[in-house]
Structure 1
Amino acid sequence: MDETKLEAALIHADVKMLGFLGEGAWHYAWKVQKDHIELVLRIPKDVAYGKPVPFEEEALNAEYAGTELYYQSVNKAVDGAAPMLFEFHVSSELTYTLESYGGKQIDLHAMTKEAAFQTGKEIGEIHRKTEEVQHGLNGFGYLAWTQEKGLQGTISGDASEFLKEESEEHIADYQALCAARPEYEDNRVSEAIQLAVALRKKPFTKPFLVNQDASPENILLNGNRVYLIDPYPSIYYPRAMAGNFMNLYETFFITLAGTERYQKHQFKECEENLKLIAKGFIEGYSAGNPQIASEVRGEQLLQLLETAYSHYQLLSEDLAEETRIRYGSKEEIENRLPQFSEELKVLAASQIDELKCFLAYY
């Protein structure tokens, strides 16, 4: 870390250093103080995932303005569930963010089973209620920022058509997997995927503000309350991001626990708590509505399919250093594919009747 950048940020933000908090994939973080209030100062890294990070003004403004909007929306939905203060400065000489200090990261290894379930339930409730807050942005998809238009979605046009095209890609990806990997061929998986893509079209009316980054690193406890930080917001079909959360906590984090990106968390050793967080999440997100739960499970199936398909694709590529850090070696990637096949079969078999039921309901 360039100490001159830190000194410049402390002076520019007019804050006093309290101590180093740690580092994520993209930022260093310090606890600081201003007017006797504890805050967090973050400075982007010059090198991330083994490669230099160029300064891109519009991309940084999109990231930080999107974070600001997400925090505001979360706090409208559940007061105090995200930083109340968030400021940022972006220039080629100095870039940093400043936000409210929210407490310590959840400890997946020390928390009780009851606490894991309750944490997941609170996160699910926050996600569901945040989706009800109007975001006021044009477009959908990932967020972009320009001097002329400010923050906006990167895709214009009919979001329903986009979802339809994406659904067709899911089916094509499964067919490609089956052609290359015969162990993926399964009538119930094929039927469940068809049902999931049919079901996702029915409740979709317009895209909402959602968060794709559900890492445990970004979940804090402020007293006994869940506190969410460092989101990756977009404007999208909300059930898909709920399904993404379920796939991450029931499969992805556990299966990729040995990679350089995740090995420090030792996710395999807290597998039960990760799955309890997922169990709590779907209860909190669905608020007891079995139809919503089924829609989320259908999206989880599609997310799991894409996890498998992305692994299959990586086997035919030269692995960049960032990819190796995230996914491991080709041997490790290859070794995960049979497990994903089995998990697809188990999830499809457990959900196919519910998917049929709710599709018929529509």
Structure 2
Amino acid sequence: MNKARLKRVLQHADVSDPAFLGSGAWHDAWKVVKENRELVLRIPKDIAYGKSISFNEEELTAEYAATKLYYQSVNQAVNGAAPDFYEFYVSADLTYTLESYGGEQIDLHTMTKEQVLQIGKQIGGIYRKTDQVSQEISGLGYLTWTEEKGLHGVLEGELHAFIQEESAEHIADYETLCTVYPQFQDEKVPQALIAATELRNQQVVNISLVNQDASPENILLRDDQVCLIDPYPSLYAPRGMAGNFMNLYETFFLVLSQTERYKKHRFDLCEQQLKGMAEGFLAGYSEGNKAVIREVRGEQLLQLLETAFIHHQLLLKDITPEDIIRYGDRQAIEARLFVLCEELKRFAASQIK
């Protein structure tokens, strides 16, 4: 970070005593003080995932306004489960966010099974209660911002119709994988996919503000209370992102643990803690309701399928430097695709009763 730029931001935000916290994928972060209160200052990086990032006022405003809305929704559901103060400033010369300090990042490597179960259970409860907070913004999908409409979903239409169309795409994606890679052909996967898509087509009725980015680096702990930060919000069916959480912690973080994006977290050395987080999450989210568990597991199956399909799509194009950071080189992507193939078959079999 350019020291002159940092100095300008500190002056504009009227904060002092900066202490560097770390560098994420898109932002550098400092702990700062304002009016005797600890805050976190984030400044966007000039280079992310190996490429220069040009200033885009609408994209940055959408990202930060969506984060603010998500924090408000989470705190409405569970007080203190997200930063209770958040403001941002966007301009070509000076862009930053400022939020209340939520605690220390969790360290899965030092945690017991009981500790990760309890944290996962807290997060599951937070997700479930946030799903029930009504939203007044229009649209579906990821959030965008314009002067005319303010913050809104990028897609138009009715949620139930969107989910039915998406379900058909999931089935088509599996058929494509089977055509290109005979290893994906399996007796139980189609049964499990049909059951999952039929269930979601029947059950989905409400739009929720959900969070796609549930990585451990975005989970803080202070006095044993979880605080969720740095979300990637969208307007979607609530069970979908519960399934996403389960896929991340039971499969995704483990199979991508050797990529440049995730190598520093050493996820391959804390498999039990990751799976304990998922177990706790499902317990907290479902509150023991077997129907909810079936819905979440169905969405997890679809998320796992799409993880495999993304790898197939990557192999159809030129691999970019960003792809390599996220997924590895072509050889690693191809090898992982067949690991995901076996995991898809194993998980599908576990869902067939």
TM-score w.r.t. structure 2 length?
Answer: 0.99
Deviations 1:246-296 (A, max 9, x none): 000000000000000000000000011000000100111111101001100
SS of 2:109's equivalent in the other structure is: coil
SS of 1:41's equivalent in the other structure is: strand
Aligned equivalent of 1:226 = 226
Deviations 1:152-199 (A, max 9, x none): 111111121111111111001000000111111011101110111111
Aligned equivalent of 1:301 = 301
| Residue 67 in structure 1 maps to residue 51 in structure 2 | no
| Residue 48 in structure 1 maps to residue 58 in structure 2 | no
Aligned equivalent of 1:270 = 270
Aligned equivalent of 2:169 = 169
SS of 2:17's equivalent in the other structure is: strand
Aligned equivalent of 1:128 = 128
Aligned equivalent of 1:12 = 12
TM-score w.r.t. structure 1 length?
Answer: 0.96
Q: Which amino acid aligns with 1:346?
A: R
Aligned equivalent of 1:317 = 317
Cα distance in 1 for partners of 2:318, 2:20 equals 37
Q: Which amino acid aligns with 2:253?
A: F
Cα distance in 2 for partners of 1:152, 1:143 equals 5
Cα distance in 2 for partners of 1:288, 1:309 equals 32
* Aligned residues: CA RMSD: 0.8
Q: Can you give the 5+ residue segments of structure 2 that lack an aligned partner in the other structure?
A: none
Give 1:132 shift. Answer: 0.8
Give 1:22 shift. Answer: 0.4
Answer yes or no: is the 8 Å Cα contact 1:17–1:30 preserved in 2: no
Residue identity over aligned pairs, in percent, reads 60
Give 1:56 shift. Answer: 0.7
SS of 1:317's equivalent in the other structure is: coil
Q: Which amino acid aligns with 1:283?
A: A
Cα distance in 2 for partners of 1:206, 1:154 equals 17
> After the TM superposition, which segments of 4 or more aligned residues of structure 1 sit over 2 Å from their partners?
none
Cα distance in 2 for partners of 1:140, 1:80 equals 27
Aligned equivalent of 2:91 = 91
Q: Which amino acid aligns with 2:158?
A: D
Cα distance in 1 for partners of 2:310, 2:73 equals 32
Q: Can you give the 5+ residue segments of structure 1 that lack an aligned partner in the other structure?
A: 354-362
Deviations 1:4-50 (A, max 9, x none): 22111111110002310001000000000011100000000000000
Aligned equivalent of 1:145 = 145
Aligned equivalent of 1:358 = none
SS of 1:109's equivalent in the other structure is: helix
Q: Which amino acid aligns with 1:112?
A: T
Give 1:316 shift. Answer: 1.9
Aligned equivalent of 1:159 = 159
Aligned equivalent of 2:199 = 199
SS of 1:202's equivalent in the other structure is: helix
Give 1:341 shift. Answer: 1.4
Task: Count how many residue pairs are aligned between Structure 1 and Structure 2.
Answer: 353
SS of 1:251's equivalent in the other structure is: helix
Cα distance in 1 for partners of 2:40, 2:19 equals 10
